Amino acid sequence: MTKILIGRLVFIAASSVFVVVAGGGVAFILRPVGALYVALWVVWWLVTAGRQRGVISAYDRSQRVIVTALSIVTVPVLIVALPWEYAYFAGPIPRDGPLAWVGLALFAAGIALASAAMQALHGLFTTRLGVQPGHRLVTSGPYRWVRHPGYLSHILCLTGVGLALSSLVALGLTILVAPFILWRIQREEDMLAAEFGEEYRTYMQQTKWRLIPLVY
């Protein structure tokens, strides 16, 4: 566990350096948006570094190839392509304007939501899809309002990153990832209904929204 944590911290430090370099070096963090973005980037990874992998299950095996492929695509894009686009590509979204600050706010909200979801699950927030030893149905914290706050946090963070860095690539990435999230939600709900039966079906009736309040 210690080695895994050290590895994650090394990744956070190295990826932060790559973000700054790709964004133009010191000039990136001298811009208020750039400096706050890097700070949120570090907090984001520190929060998610606390996730456990979880046990291998049949539910997870059916998605492992897609999860791996998405990681191979999204992680380098987030680390290199987005800050480079912000620094060197004069796209249709104005740099450092009001939308950038809206994006930073969404990014921060996504991080806070992820943290709240992880605290509510107490170690059951895993990267692998499956029922963990001692698993119980959690309906407290943000799970009172939406059934999948962790996935909502991903959408908030990706959308926020796209707006913060005025990135069409990030917004396109959000659109690319969204169908997978919806598919994974369906698989997860099928799994939880099979494992927890009537308890989960009652929870579904009590918590109307799967992902986004008042929308879905």
- pLDDT tens track for 77-99: 999 999 999 999 877 888 899 99
As a whole number of angstroms, the distance between CA 7 and CA 178 comes to 28
Element (H or E) spanning 205, and its range? helix 198-206
pLDDT digits (tens, 9 = 90+) for 19-29: 999 999 999 99
The structural domains of the chain, ordered by start, are 2-206 (1.20.120.1630)
Phi and psi (nearest 5°) for 146?
Answer: -135, 150
As a whole number of angstroms, the distance between CA 155 and CA 106 comes to 9
pLDDT digits (tens, 9 = 90+) for 166-177: 999 998 988 888
> What was the pLDDT predicted at 20?
96
As a whole number of angstroms, the distance between CA 67 and CA 63 comes to 6
Give percent above pLDDT 70 in the chain.
Answer: 94
Q: Which of 85, 192, 79 is nearest to 130 (CA)?
A: 192
Q: Is 126 helix (H, G, I), strand (E, B) or coil?
A: strand
Measured CA to CA in angstroms, residue 116 lies from 47, 83, 111, 146, 207 at distances of 10, 28, 9, 12, 17
